Chain A
Amino acid sequence: EVQLVESGGGLVQPGRSLKLSCAASGFTFSDYNMAWVRQAPTKGLEWVASISYGGSNTHYGDSVKGRFTISRDNAKSTLYLQMDSLRSEDTATYYCARHRSSYLDYFDYWGQGVMVTVSS
């Protein structure tokens, strides 16, 4: 069974940093492209970033480009999201998601999400 379990969320002040993790199991992690998607409270979904299966390619949404960094450790089957210079508008539930096959295609499995609140 595919499982994606996010961790690392919490309350952080504006301008500070936070690093999210997503532990994957039930599939060969190194075979899949991965992503982060977020959802602000009572709002819709927003793609944040994607990374290729080997980690050599990354892409970011315009709202986080230059502030967030996606990375992965295939030996640990773990995906990461380093979030710097956080803003109040980054407050959201962050989901780890697996791309089905091609890089930057649809997501077939999602984690349960982790909440990040940016507030002073």
Chain B
Amino acid sequence: IQLTQSPSLLSASVGDRVTLSCKGSQNINNYLAWYQQKLGEAPKLLIYNTNSLQTGIPSRFSGSGSGTDYTLTISSLQPEDVATYFCYQYNNGLTFGSGTKLEIK
């Protein structure tokens, strides 16, 4: 399964509601996770099984979707959210999306 993330680059202001998209080439059956990777760091799990929030992750992060289309939403963008975000599917094989780089405007 191939994953297409959009946009590849997103610039938003502090406090904005931000939506990142991930589309699969086939049905993912909700076996989708989201990772945050800050510059020079390892990826960090944010969301698993489409909408389950990993322990310790702020509630401003949420996930949704079904079938082939999934979304990561940040309800109120904070400066510390600057990072690249990857979606990841584990329904059929294990594949990552190409990432969305999130910047502060």
Contacts and interface: CB of A to CB of B under 8 A. Distances in A.
B64 interface: no
Interface in A84-113: 95, 100, 104-113
Contacts of A45: 35, 43, 86, 88, 96, 99
Given A45-B43, A95-B42, A105 B96 contact: no
Q: Give chain B's interface residue range (CB within 8 Å of chain A).
A: 10 to 19
A106 B96 contact: no
A103 B96 CA distance: 17
Q: Which of B44, B86, B90, B95 has the most CB of A within 10 A?
A: B90
Interface in B45-73: 45, 48, 54
Contacts of B33: 106-107
Interface of B: 31, 33, 35, 41-45, 48, 54, 86, 88, 90, 94-99
